[in-house]
Amino acid sequence: MATEIKVPTLGESVTEATVGEWLKNPGDAVAVDEPIASLETDKVAVDVPSPVAGVLQEHSVSVGDTVEVGAVIATVEEGAAPAAKDEEAGRAKEDREESQGKQEDKSEEKSAPAGDASSVTMSPAVRRAVLEHGVDPTTIKGTGKDGRLTKEDVIAAAKAKKSGGGDSVAQAAPEQAATPSAPAGGRNTERVKMTRMRQTIARRLKGAQEEAALLTTFNDCDMSAVIEARSKYKDLFAKKHDIKLGFMGFFAKAACLALKDVPAANAYIEGDEIVYHDYVDISVAVSAPNGLVVPVIRDADKKGFAQIEKDIADFGARAKEGTLTMEDMSGGTFTISNGGVFGSLMSTPIINPPQSAVLGLHRIEDRPVVVDGEIVIRPMMYLALSYDHRLIDGREAVTALKIIKEAIEDPTRMLIDL
């Protein structure tokens, strides 16, 4: 009996997705709950599992197609997987095809330009893995259908490269490496369809600029006290909590102090009403292979430094793996974005609708400052608070940023709630 596989519920307010990659092909055996396809939503990639064990019959849609919740994307014929002899025959056929493929590869290597990634057919998921791990797809032997690369091929190649085995691939084809990827003076272009996440990011950020009355206020912050505290307690902190003491924990707690005193920075505008929150859910901007994501630290005002640091570390790891869920990124009343990890000195971050404010952090650098009438060198950071002027007055925005600055320069304030 054939069972239809439908697009599952994707999350609150999410009604459609894009087929990013087929993980199983027609004729493949599938187990119960085994993923057969990867869908790209506005925020995350979602695997579609098979509800039954059997053999995949057909794909009803193609990679890149937009599908709605409940739409049929494939069918599975229930029952046992192909008999062992059929599997053995299939393996023998694959071995023959692989042997033929190797012969073809040898002849193609002499004529095909090396390093030309555009000549390698890659699904969006594989392309993201290539960018994330920094490997050359032209040097990887694909194990998928028709020799195509799979995500597992890329990860295996990246591991081999880290362990020192990556060089053997390049050494195996010196002629290929010596061939230029394009004629001298060539001007190449590549067209790649925007992922659904990138389209959503573009639409939301442009919408924020058009709808909100955006304004940014700046301040600079002496990081000496926080750096000294980290240096003094980092070993004890790591030993007790099994997590490193980072800067984000300090800024998250400092932001909670500011939002308590300036509730408008922790509020939304909905229609002609202002929605205030008596809790602080901080969205933390995290860089993922397919775009910027903002998982949420729930009840940050009630959590200690250790739990905040653990939440941030977990989000960062899962963002790289692509395993963040819709629930992880829903909500959020305030955002912290750290451009300093990429070397940014100063920026004007854009709010994350429907939020009304975002704190931008930047790189720390030694600068001359005047302290008690003397010029001294201090580790300084520029802070930026972008806000929706429809809801937050300039006085409130400046006050909120000043509270954050003072808490970072004197962390004791965070302990005694000043």
What residues are annotated to the active site? 389, 393
> Which letter does DSSP use for residue 23 in this model?
S
Query: Could you tell me if 362 and 345 are in contact, meaning their C-beta atoms sit under 8 angstroms apart?
Result: yes
Direct distance between the N- and C-terminal alpha carbons of the chain, in angstroms, rounded to an integer: 67
- Cα dist from 384 to 285, 340, 347, 402, whole Å: 15, 12, 7, 11
Q: Which residues face 218 on adjacent strands?
A: 384
Selection from 144, 152, 149, 142 nearest residue 122 by Cα: 149
Asked if residues 124 and 135 have their Cβ atoms less than 8 Å apart, the reply is no
Q: Are strands 374-388 and 296-297 parallel, antiparallel or unpaired?
A: unpaired
Widest pairwise Cα distance in the chain:
87
Output the six-digit token pair for 295: 């998982």
How far apart, in whole angstroms, are the C-alpha atoms of residue 144 and residue 121?
A: 11
| β partners of residue 215 | 387
**Around Cβ 46, how many Cβ atoms within 10 Å?**
21
In angstroms, the CA 63 to CA 345 distance is: 40
CA-angle at 100, arms to 94 and 106, nearest 5°? 135
